[in-house]
Amino acid sequence: MIVVTGGAGFIGSNIIKGLNARGVSNILVVDDLTEGDKFANLVGLDIADYMHKDQFRQQLLAGRLSGVEAIMHQGACSDTTERNGHYMMENNYRYTLELVQWCQQYKVPFIYASSAAVYGPGPVYKEDPIYEAPLNVYGYSKYLFDQSLRKHLGRLKAPVAGLRYFNVYGPREQHKGRMASVAYHNLRQFQAEGHVRLFGGWEGYADGAQQRDFVYIDDVVAVNLFFLDHPEVSGIFNCGTGRAQPFNDVAMTVVNSLRLDKAQPALSLKEMVEQKLIRYIPFPDGLKGRYQSHTQADLTRLREAGYDAPFTDVQTGVAAYVRTILNKER
């Protein structure tokens, strides 16, 4: 049995989809469906069982779990604006620590979600403590566990792989609200208002030219499954494309994908701005000094680990994502 925590969430449910595509269905989903909207992500997926995260933790600590082949730990509080440090550390740090200790005791492979938030403002995004300076308690919760893992890498009894996700986008994220991807918000905003709003220039960047490493969910799933297939590899690895692209690229691809759906010609960025299909708002004072204006994953360690597949660029991934949403809503 493979355990996927956060299995009803964005990345977790897509991992289950990826496992199902391999013919794997003996999957225990661990999550919290108190707010039940996430159930939609499990519809159509083939799983063996569901367990609430607290019940799972109790079963784990009591030694009542058996037959576990691997744990793919995606469950966490992912709200980067959450200020309750106790809640964040209990959910993201302590829970993960208990899981990895259990996995070490019973020699079970453990793959978990870390985050590019550990790097803070950058500008170097390389898996090394000298480049890590989280700006919020979410980032710190991920950072602290990564630090804990580093102390034990040389004497592990079972493989552990931590994946530092950059800006992930794609299907099954609709429940995330304001924490959903830029692509999702751009799409919904254009559908509702007929235009997309982006931040204006700041820190030397032109309007909408701040850059992030936007990574398509299918690539994230592929990286997770790679580590599932390669239990000989342990460590902390970036999970991004290795290429920073501006927010303008995301917005343009969303708008042109929607135009294509209506048999309208594609427009350039200049044309979109002139037609006010893309509009820029002043950079918020509250984000100054607390915002990543440029992120780009250093993929050296991931490539050295043997993962050699190419990553999807924004133009390809966002266009596919828009088509998926439109087809589902027809």
So which residues are the catalytic ones? 138, 176
Give φ, ψ of 320 to 5 degrees: -65, -40
State the pairing for strand pair 245-246/211-212. antiparallel
Q: What is the largest CA-CA distance in the chain?
A: 63
State the pairing for strand pair 235-239/160-165. parallel
Contact 113, 71 (CB under 8 A): no
What's the token pair of residue 92? 């993201």
* Degrees, nearest 5: CA angle 37-174-165: 115
What is the rounded distance in angstroms from the CA atom of residue 140 to the CA atom of residue 22? 35
Q: In a 3-state reduction of DSSP, which class is residue 215?
A: strand
Indicate the DSSP class of residue 284.
P
**Residue 299 buriedness (CB in 10 A; 0-12 / 13-18 / 19+):** buried
Sequence-distant (6+) residues with CB within 8 A of 218 are 14, 170, 312, 317
